[in-house]
Structures are given as structure tokens and as C-alpha cells.
Amino acid sequence: MKTINVGILGMGTVGSGVVKLLQDHAALLDRRVGARLRVRRIAETGTPRIAVDPKLLTTDAMEVINDPQVDIVVELIGGTSVARTLCLEAVQKGKHLVTANKALLAEHGLEIYQAAATKRVDLGFEASVCGAIPIIRSVREGLVANHIESIMGIVNGTTNYILTKMTETGQPFAEVLAEAQAKGYAEADPTLDVGGLDAAHKLQILASLAYNGYIRFSDIYIEGIQKVDAVDIAFARELGYRIKLLAIAKEDSGELEVRVHPTMIPDTHLLASVGGVYNAVHIRGDSAGSLMFSGRGAGQMPTASSVVADLVEIAHNIIFHRPSRVSLLPTGAMAEGVGLRPMERIRSRYYLRVMALDKPGVLSLVSGVLGENQISISSVIQKGRAEQAAVPVVMLTHEAVEGDMQKALKRINHLDAVAQDTVCIRVEGAED
């Protein structure tokens, strides 16, 4: 039986899961691969988290990359600087590459995809988006015959945990974040997660594959969940909606929207019931119709499961002398005629919470400003009465243009009768 040698860079959380999986499931994998998939070298600068043969270990990643026996290099260091250099080195040396590094691919993917295409090596990155969920393979292969109409995903477990907990308990954001940090569900510096950047990294990778062109990370509109207020979660529930951080890509009339922001979805929508740290992606293809994928979006073994799936696929390609699959990578610009739609031109329904002084005529002032900006209201609730104090006036609008909404909000927030900035949340998945 042939042996396929794997070199691992970084044996932290995911790296040690991969080593464990390759060891524990060696017999099963040997049968499925038709070859022995073995760890030949491991580079780790810290303390290895599981016991391995010390002869496998080095602190120098280049030793792994330069080992002529290593067929596939697995980058599990993270970050975008050292990892970028090492990935490019591995590809230049003709090694197949597997990575779980979404930040690296979202920010420097083009360079890495092009290098892999030039060197005709395989590149696997299933674990970079939604941990255990085989979403890359599904978009790249299972749905290859479809025009993808839309992708809407809960792709960050930390923010889904926080929003779920806020929904269940009514606690404020800061309190739930502190609890999530204490339980290890959120990092000490939570900015990447709560600021929406991690979700945007995954969207960049997924949408570039789905729409066959490299989307610049800087072109993605990103808004995090830091300003989501428990009050709005409660109003959303009353109206039959949930608030989720969604990563959205949609094609409409030759234009592509790519955005990450807190979003209200009807509580009957498939994504609404995905709670806790779980991830889910809802995809609509023109032939396949609606599909929903859900599962664990992170964690040691769920992520290792996807890394090993890539290793098995690449091992098959090596054994059967199949040419590499790089032709499926988004190495160029979007297809002719497809452009990105600027945020101010997207269309959405909106939830608004205006904190208005309880005086006669305020509602007509606000609706007047909306009307002047071509925005019509579909429903209004006013809660409580408080003389001379501000009370929440909650509105749902029909579909409107984002730029018109932003203009209207500026004017509404300047009205004397409006006590604080109006909360505005986009609504998806509901019929107008």
C-alpha cells in the first residue's frame, strides 16, 4: 500500500485534532483512501497538546516544507503573516496544501489560488468555512450546475451564541459577552467575532466560489452585533422575527450584493431555529431550489473532520494521478457583466425603532420624512405613554433602497421630537 505523507504546521487546537483523527481512524482511512495517510512531520513552536513521537516534532516550519517525503502540507498556525509566507513556500515547493485559515484566504486568497494554479497543486480549505459543514464542497461541486441566487448564513458561532442567549434571557449584550468569554465561547479580544469580520472572511471565501470570481474583502459591507439591544430583540419576537448576524450574498440583475450585518428574519425561516454556537447556511440555486446546511461551525474535532476530508480527497488525486482541481478556484475577476452592487443601492425591508417624544404629530412627521424618501410603512407599534419622555415607536417598512433609508434616518434623527439615534435593522426572508 502506498503511503501519503502529511506535514503539519501548528499543532494547537485544530492541529492536534487532525493528528488525533489520523491516528485514531488510521485503519478506516487507509481503507477509504486506498493508501496509508501518515503524519511525517509536525512543526509547533509551543507545547504540543497531545503526546506524539518526539522524532516527528520540529520548531522550524521550513523543515516540514522542505522535507522531500512530505506530499501534503497542512497549515494550522492561523494569522495572515507567517502563515501566508509558509503557504506560498509550500506551494512553490510543489506541495499540495490544506488550510483552515479563513482570514488568510479572505485577505490573500487570490495570491495563494494563483500560486496553486501555476504550480498545479491541490488546495483544500473546507475547514475555513463553517467547521464540520461540507459547504465548500457543496458549493464547488454539488451545486456546480446552478446559478446561485442567494446565500444566507449564520457562519459565526460566537455571535449566534450571544444573540440566542440575549433572545432567551433578555440580558444585555455586554453581560452575555462576558459570560461567553468566561465559558470560552468568545475570545478575550472578541472584535473579530462580534464586529462581523470573521463572518465576512467566510462570506468572501464562499461567495467567491459561488460566483466564480475573486471578491475583494474590502468590498464587503460589515456591521457587527455590538449595538444590538435586547429591547429590539424583544420587539422582533413580538413581531414574529429573530435577529441573527447573517452573511449574505445575492445576485440580482447581474449585480452581486455581499454584506454581513444583524438581520431580522421571520421565526418561521429555517435559519431562525439555529441557536447556540451552531452554524447554518441557506442556499438558493436556480435548479436545486432551497437547501439548508447546518452543524458545528468550530471546535477541535468538527474542524479536524473537514481538514481530514481534504487530505483524503487530495490523497485520492495523488493515487489516481488526477490532475489538480485548481480550475475550480476563483482565480480571476467576476464573470463579464457581473459587478458588485454598492451598499447604498441594495433593496431591503427595514425595522425601525424611533425614540420619539410622546407628543401629537410626531408619528406623521416621521412618516412624512420616510414618504419623501420613497419609503412606505407596513406596520407600526407604539409602546407605552410617558409625558415629555421618549417612547419607542417601532415600524416595519416595505422594501426600500438603502441610500434612501440612510437619507431618511439622518433627517429623522435631527427632528426635535426624536430623542436618540433611530435603530435600523434590515429584514430578510419575508415577503413584502
Ligand X SMILES: NC(=O)c1ccc[n+]([C@@H]2O[C@H](COP(=O)([O-])OP(=O)(O)OC[C@H]3O[C@@H](n4cnc5c(N)ncnc54)[C@H](OP(=O)(O)O)[C@@H]3O)[C@@H](O)[C@H]2O)c1
Q: Would you tell me which residues interact with ligand X (CB under 6 A)?
A: 9-15, 43-46, 61, 76-78, 82, 100-102, 127, 131, 298-299, 303
Smallest gap from residue 123 Cβ to ligand X (A)? 15
Helical H segments across 51-101, by residue range: 61-66, 82-92
- By beta-carbon proximity to ligand X, the closer residue of 10 and 429 is 10
CB of residue 299 to ligand X, shortest distance in Å: 5
Q: How far apart are CA 234 and CA 269, in angstroms?
A: 18
* 202 is annotated as an active-site residue: yes
Q: Which of residues 23 and 268 has its CB atom nearest to ligand X in the complex?
A: 23
Give the C-alpha distances (Å, rounded to integers) separating 263 from 134, 244, 271: 24, 5, 11
In angstroms, what is the minimal distance from the CB of 371 to ligand X? 47
Nearest to 176 by CA among 277, 260, 270: 277
Q: What are phi and psi of 376, to 5 degrees?
A: -110, 150
Return the number of the residue (16 or 208) whose C-beta is nearest ligand X. 16
Least CB distance to ligand X at residue 77 (A)? 4
Number of H helices, E strands in the chain: 14, 18
| Residue keyed to cell 486568497 | 109
Catalytic, out of 95, 102, 202, 250: 202
Closest approach of ligand X to the CB of residue 103, in Å: 6
- Terminal alpha carbon distance of the chain: 60
Closer of 29 and 298 to ligand X (Cβ): 298
Shorter beta-carbon distance to ligand X: residue 55 or 414: 55
Catalytic residues: 202
